A = this chain, B = another copy of it.
């Protein structure tokens, strides 16, 4: 960045670079939370689960998903658990089956958080 050289002594200081800037528009915890949320989204199977649930919310059981996706049942359950733990979907047992649905409010919050991050990038 800018020289730190004071020109007041003959000691050779670092020139031309690395003046520390006071930065961090983002909180440590904000950035951590955003990264965790993006990680949760960042898997093809989980994206497809969300897309399917969005179109058939409340009417999709695990075996539907297993039939629609190229992974086995334990893997489907695994991804469902991650999404449920992350608050993005909800499951409701009805008889033998558990029907999953998108948690639209949570998803809207995720969308807003990502939106805000890009906005912050923009205001440069």
Binding site for B on A (CB under 8 A): 1, 16-21, 23-26, 31-32, 34-36, 38-39, 41-44, 47-48, 50-52, 54-57, 59-61, 63-64, 67-68, 95-97, 102, 107, 111, 114, 117-118, 120-124
Find chain B residues with CB under 8 A from A21 CB: 52, 56, 64, 68
Residue of B whose beta carbon sits closest to that of A68: B23
In the complex, are the beta carbons of B68 and A16 less than 8 A apart? no
What copy number does this chain have within its complex? 2
Distance to closest chain B CB from A28 (angstroms):
8
CA of A48 to CA of B93, assembled, Å: 41
CA of A55 to CA of B1, assembled, Å: 13
Report which of B38, B63, B117, B123 forms a contact with A38, defined as CB distance below 8 A.
Answer: B38
In the complex, are the beta carbons of A1 and B64 less than 8 A apart? yes
Residue of B whose beta carbon sits closest to that of A32: B44
In the complex, are the beta carbons of A51 and B121 less than 8 A apart? yes
